[in-house]
Structure 1
Amino acid sequence: MTSTDRPSRGELMARLHTAGRELSTAAVMFHTALAQLHGLSATEEKAIDLLQRLGPLTARQLGEQSGLAPASVTGLVDRLQRKGFARRVPNPSDGRSVLIEAAEGPTEALAPHFADWTVALDGLCARYDDTELAAIVDFLGSAAALQREATTRMTAASPGRAAPVAETVLGRGEKLTLQTAAHGVVALMAAADPGAFSSARAGIAGGKALSAATGLVGRVLAEKPKGMKLGGKSTADLADQVFPALAASVALLRDVDPAEAENFRAVMRIAVEAALQTRDGRSPAMAAMAAKIAAALDDGD
């Protein structure tokens, strides 16, 4: 290839930016798919990767490595601990702090998904000599550092807004919990009054309240529930499904964004009130069910 055949610096830079964006998109899609298989968000899965590669970290160190704001790290670790993928342990070098470490069993389940990808990557590396690989390593490491700095700048510039954007990706199982709780509330209110006509009216009124929900809660409830199985032989069977899901939903959303936990509670109260109004509040059975639902919502605290 002659000098006139070589691409210019500008052309190479354009190709590099395009290749970088393609790699970034492919990586996000891969890790999002992997995370969903295990009931995780992409942020949670990457945090596990950091803990596996770097070993136990303090919350501050995890924030530095991920670029997340401190408030986001706290919620992130709470969710990973609740799901069994990480745990807090005493810091042997500083009794005033704790370390976050990956839980071996659950995190090992992620490893097989990387096997084929690792083999293919090793094959790609064989195309380059040691000098070229050293240059690639330097570039990728430096690019990662620059991106962490960019993440930190975003979260620092908008602390009230950036954290929720990073943390509102819920796994399939978490969405199903919210959907089970919300649709279950409507089903319980409809089942509380055995009359066919009143049950239908209560169900329709409650369903309309769910469809009017906004925010993260509204987006989750607008999705078609996949795998949701509500019911049983009795109202008691239904309650055994719904009440734990209500408490779990409040706890989950409080970790993601406290405002969304209150949003969820408000939506549930509106749905209950809408069902009550179909009988003008004159159904003792529905009123008793409404009180039980309110108690279940408070159990998330």
Structure 2
Amino acid sequence: MTPVTSEGVGNKRRQRQLANEIKESLRELSIQLSLLNHQVGARADLKDVDLDCLDLINRHGPLSPTALARRAGLHPATMTGILDRLERGGWIARERDAADRRAVNVRALRDRNAELFSLYSGMNKSMDQVCAEYGEAELSLLAEFLRRTINAGQSAADKLAGG
């Protein structure tokens, strides 16, 4: 059996402290991004959930309303109201599938993307400045950490949704 040294205990304690700092920072980041998104949504006349769904459509679309509701973790009936608002605002279009006229896909209308890019430009510029302070290896490590954090969040959300 390997004896426990005070250095080993101190290292474990420091690792736990850093892990807690990271978790607290992620919570604060979540709040700050929510506040930013709320301000962007207010300027673009979009509810927070509308902005989230528009982002999902931009990233993963075109999507069926059902697939979008699943990705967003929302009830399909709720999604109908969101899509109605986004369509009225000129953010999305609903299109019939050529092969199956009953099926509908939702796609983002790129004409309005410049408006959103402009509203997020301050954050994007700040992030460029932050990233410029790190080397390639550090950025690679951070990117991997964020991917794994995203996967952990998605897994936790899926477990809550399933039971």
1:117 aligns with 2:109: no
Q: Which runs of 5+ in 2 are unaligned?
A: 1-6
The CA distance in 2 between the partners of 1:78 and 1:155, in whole Å, is: 25
Corresponding position of 2:36 = 30
Q: Which residue of 1 aligns with 2:152?
A: 146
Of 114, 131, 146, the match for 1:108: 114
Could you list the per-position Cα deviations for residues 143-173 of structure 1 after superposition, in whole angstroms to 9, with x for gaps in the alignment?
Answer: 223333444455555xxxxxxxxxxxxxxxx
Q: Give the counterpart letter for 1:147 in structure 2.
A: G
Query: Against the structure 1 CA distance between its residues 14 and 156, is the aligned structure 2 distance closer, same or farther, given a 3 Å change threshold?
Result: same
Partner Cα separation in structure 1 for residue 17 and residue 58 of structure 2: 38
Aligned-pair CA distance for 1:29:
0.2
Q: 1:141 to 1:11 in 2, by over 3 A?
A: same
Unaligned runs of 5+ in 1: 158-301
Q: Pick closer, same or farther for the CA change 1:137–1:88 going to 2, 3 Å.
A: same
- Point out the more displaced range, 2-11 or 87-96: 2-11
CA distance in 2, matches of 1:151, 1:109: 31
**What is the RMSD of the two structures over their aligned residues, measured on CA atoms?**
2.7
Q: Distance in 2 between matches of 1:142 and 1:93?
A: 38
Aligned residues: 156
Tell me if structure 2 keeps the 8 A contact 1:63–1:73. yes
1:17 aligns to what?
23
Q: Is structure 2 residue 126 aligned with structure 1 residue 127? A: no
How many angstroms apart in 1 are the aligned matches of 2:53 and 2:131? 26
TM-score normalised by L of structure 2: 0.79
Larger Rg: 1
SS at match of 1:109: helix
- In structure 2, the CA distance between the partners of 1:22 and 1:80, relative to structure 1 (3 Å rule), is same
Could you say what secondary structure the match of 2:120 adopts?
Answer: helix
Alpha-carbon distance, 1:120 to partner:
1.5
Contact 2:40 2:120 in 1 (8 A): no
Is the counterpart of residue 99 in structure 1 residue 105 in structure 2?
yes
> How far apart in 2 are the matches of 1:7 and 1:126?
31
Q: 1:132/1:63 Cα in 2 relative to 1: closer, same or farther (>3 Å)?
A: farther
5 Å-filtered alignment, 1:1-301, equals 8-92=14-98, 94-154=100-160
Closer/same/farther in 2, CA of residues 67 and 130 from structure 1, 3 Å limit: farther
Q: Provide the C-alpha distance between the structure 2 equivalents of 1:54 and 1:130, rounded to a whole number of angstroms.
A: 28
Residue deviations 1:39-81, cap 9 Å, x none?
Answer: 2111111211222223311223323432323333222212211
Aligned amino acid, residue 20 of structure 1:
L
State the alpha-carbon separation in 1 of the partners of residues 82 and 154 from structure 2. Answer: 17
Tell me the equivalent position of 2:4: none
d(CA) in 2 for partners of 1:154 and 1:23? 22
Look up the SS of the partner of 1:68 in the other structure: coil
Of all paired residues, the percent bearing the same amino acid is 25
